[in-house]
Structure 1
Amino acid sequence: MTARRRAALDRRPLMTMRVIRIRDGRIVEERPEVRIMNTDRLDPLSVSTWPPCECPRCRRKQ
């Protein structure tokens, strides 16, 4: 493996997320893309589910 290829693999994203909120079939909010890189320092999850549910029922429990 070449040094250039190794450097490219060391900086690749592990996950890319796009969050879009939709209401009544229309996009009401589009947030910027978030990339989690394999070089980012990640804290352990503090909840048992990922991503945390944000439905009305689960939000009442919190």
Structure 2
Amino acid sequence: MKVLFYVALILAAMAAYVQVADACLRNGRICKANGSMGNCCSGFCYQQVGWRRGYCKNR
């Protein structure tokens, strides 16, 4: 019974890690400067005036 509990605990921890890892957009991914398409991992969405979308990149 304890083994099943520990396996469930490990699986829950792995699922939480996957959700955190996918929480931001990597460099080169499409974004919007207002954050409506998600937030860039770098914290910067390069979007020029007149562009409908930008892309994540380092400053």
- Which TM-score applies when normalising by structure 1? 0.30
Could you say which structure has the higher strand fraction?
1
- Which TM-score applies when normalising by structure 2? 0.31
Could you say which structure has the higher helix fraction?
2
